[in-house]
């Protein structure tokens, strides 16, 4: 039974756990296209075709997920699964959204680190890297067109860009500064800090749904102090247990321990999606810890773009390369070290997302009115635009001048990047198409150069 309680219509259609499991498993393998594509797939399947949830309830849940740190599409799947089948449903939906991507990325990361020096692989990545630069630039354009609705928002984005590009301030400090600006600005100039986009009220109806507009909130989705206490305790233990084990085995400064701590912080800073937190991941994983090189970071994002699941799964690549290269388990167990590191960073990255939904869901279900972006979150979104623009310039620099400004300018890479940007921004081509075409172009360039 989907819902339980005296208010539930006994004749209402239900979705069995087995049916839900099959759908969430399928979604985990077909969720390409980034957040927009993944949300579109869920809307088509759950709202329009299967009629598991109404348009209004779907957007109500999405609005909540949009203001949380973390991957909104994965959190939306978790929310709908939880609403339909309690905690079991939420955990299954959220986990199956991530697990296929984790296994695929572990395999691809191993192929990359073990065979990346081969001419075929080098040629493919030579073309993919400029495409990734264009994809990040498109992300800045897409978020900016929604968030930068007035001069003040443009100013916040510009200040964030200067802060990270010129002053090299840490990403958490930029987020805190933007939040404070929004908090104060929302009181001094509220009209300037109203959300400039997002998802509004539902204006379409596709017929009766299992979870319809007026379906009563099930008992498990109602706020309970006891349930809240248990969830907080469980969340703490699920985080503290692995961290304590890592500390006991490797010490606080051990590679795996530091990965767990670092990606816990990263999980709480992913306002605006994966593109926004990538500079923070770069600052830590590349600049501070040295788990991987700048070039490997770009390659990892390319792999993340070509696999299903949330883009923030690039952290699995970071973890795999870091564990593999540092030989956590010795030189004979490099693959095992990489696989364990990738799994650990995935655990610490996504654990907060599950807790946000399971703990905050009952508060959201208390009202079916549309959620609004708060002023601090509006300012953070504007700052994210400047941060992502910096990321695009960072990628562009390493792609076009791989040996620094004193080295040779890569004209072929510049042409591929320009063509990819035109395809994405002007002709609205899909990310997968652009990456595939760029990979073929890069391979052709390398083959011609070798003749």
**What is the DSSP track for 142-167?**
HHHHHH--SHHHHHHHHHHHHHHHTS
Average pLDDT over residues 190-197: 66
Q: What is the DSSP letter of 14?
A: -
Residues whose CB falls within 8 Å of the CB of residue 395, separated by 6 or more in sequence, listed in order: 129, 132, 133, 136, 298, 301
Comparing 31-40, 64-73, 83-92, 246-255, the range with the smallest average pLDDT is 31-40
Query: For residues 359 and 196, what is the distance between their CA atoms, to the nearest angstrom?
Result: 27
* C-alpha 334 chain-centroid distance: 27
Distances (CA, A) of 87 to 33, 79, 227, 343, 362: 27, 10, 11, 22, 12
Q: What is the DSSP letter of 215?
A: P
pLDDT digits (tens, 9 = 90+) for 354-379: 999 999 888 777 655 433 445 776 78
Give the confidence band of 295 by pLDDT, cuts at 50, 70, 90.
confident
Hey, which residues does 53 pair with through a beta bridge? 211
The pLDDT value recorded for residue 63 is: 67
Per the CB < 8 A criterion, the answer to whether 271 and 377 are in contact is yes
Compute the distance between CA of residue 242 and CA of residue 247 in angstroms, rounded to an integer.
9
Q: Is the pLDDT of residue 68 over 50?
A: yes
What is the model's pLDDT at position 137? 84
Is 127 within 8 Å of 442 (Cβ atoms)?
yes
- Could you read off the pLDDT of 9-64 as tens digits, one per residue? 445 568 899 999 999 999 998 776 567 668 878 888 898 889 999 888 887 787 67
Classify residue 270 by its DSSP letter. Answer: -
Residue 432 has pLDDT above 70, yes or no: yes
Pair 385, 143: CB distance under 8 Å? yes
DSSP-assigned letter for residue 117: T
Please write the tens of the pLDDT for every residue from 296-349.
888 888 788 778 888 889 999 999 999 999 999 989 999 999 999 999 999 999
Task: List CB contacts of 203: < 8 A, sequence separation 6 or more.
Answer: none
How far apart CA 159 and CA 115 sit, in angstroms, is 42
Mean pLDDT of 403-421: 88
Q: Is residue 113 within 8 Å of residue 337, measured between CB atoms?
A: no
What pLDDT does residue 1 have? Answer: 36
When pLDDT is cut at 50, 70 and 90, the band that residue 414 belongs to is very high
More confident residue, 130 or 67: 130
pLDDT tier at 271, thresholds 50, 70, 90: low
Q: Percentage of the chain with pLDDT > 90?
A: 37
Average confidence score pLDDT of the chain = 84
- Over residues 88-94, the mean pLDDT reads 96
Q: For residue 184, what is the enclosing H or E element?
A: helix 171-188
What is the distance between the alpha carbons of residues 415 and 402, in angstroms, rounded to a whole number?
A: 15
Query: Residue 60, CB half-sphere, CA atoms under 13 Å: how many?
Result: 21
Token pair for residue 112?
């990359």
Q: What share of the chain in percent tops pLDDT 70?
A: 88
Q: Which residue has the higher pLDDT, 40 or 250?
A: 250
């Amino acid at each position: 039974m989907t819902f339980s309680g005296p208010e539930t219509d006994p004749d209402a259609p239900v979705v069995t756990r087995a049916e839900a499991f099959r759908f969430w498993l399928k979604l985990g393998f077909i969720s390409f296209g980034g957040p927009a594509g993944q949300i579109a797939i869920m809307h088509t399947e759950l709202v329009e075709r299967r009629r598991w949830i109404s348009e209004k309830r779907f957007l109500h849940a999405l609005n909540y997920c949009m203001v949380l740190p973390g991957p909104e599409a994965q959190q939306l799947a978790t929310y709908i699964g939880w609403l339909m089948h309690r905690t079991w449903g939420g955990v299954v939906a959220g986990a199956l959204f991530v697990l296929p991507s984790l296994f695929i990325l572990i395999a691809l990361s191993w192929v990359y680190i073990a065979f990346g020096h081969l001419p075929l692989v080098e040629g493919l990545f030579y073309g993919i890297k400029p495409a990734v630069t264009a994809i990040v630039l498109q992300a800045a354009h897409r978020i900016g067109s929604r968030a930068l609705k007035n001069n003040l928002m443009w100013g916040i984005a510009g200040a964030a860009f200067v802060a990270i590009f010129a002053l090299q301030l840490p990403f958490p400090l930029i987020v805190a500064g933007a939040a404070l600006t929004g908090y104060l600005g929302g009181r001094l100039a509220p009209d300037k800090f109203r959300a400039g986009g997002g998802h509004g009220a539902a204006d379409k109806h596709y017929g009766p749904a299992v979870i319809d507009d007026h379906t009563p909130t099930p008992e498990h989705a109602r706020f309970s102090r006891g349930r809240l206490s248990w969830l907080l305790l469980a969340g703490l233990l699920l985080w503290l247990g692995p961290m304590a084990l890592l500390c006991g085995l490797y010490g606080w400064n051990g590679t795996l321990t530091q990965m767990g701590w670092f990606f816990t912080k990263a999980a709480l800073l992913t306002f605006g999606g994966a593109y926004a937190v990538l500079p923070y991941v770069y600052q830590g994983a590349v600049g501070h810890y040295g788990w991987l090189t700048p070039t490997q970071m770009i390659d990892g994002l390319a792999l993340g773009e070509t696999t299903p699941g949330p883009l923030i799964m690039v952290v699995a690549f970071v973890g795999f390369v870091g564990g593999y290269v540092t030989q956590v388990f010795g030189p004979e167990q490099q693959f095992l070290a990489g696989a364990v590191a990738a799994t650990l960073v995935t655990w610490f990255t996504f654990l907060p997302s599950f807790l946000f939904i399971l703990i905050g869901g009952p508060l959201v279900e208390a009202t079916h009115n549309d959620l609004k972006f708060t002023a601090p979150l509006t300012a953070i979104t504007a700052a994210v635009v400047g941060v992502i623009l910096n990321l695009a310039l960072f990628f562009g620099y390493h792609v076009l001048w791989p040996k620094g400004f004193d080295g040779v300018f890569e004209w072929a890479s510049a042409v591929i990047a320009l063509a990819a940007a035109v395809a994405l921004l002007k002709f609205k081509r899909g990310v997968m198409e652009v990456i595939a075409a760029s990979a073929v172009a890069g391979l052709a360039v390398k083959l011609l150069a070798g003749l």
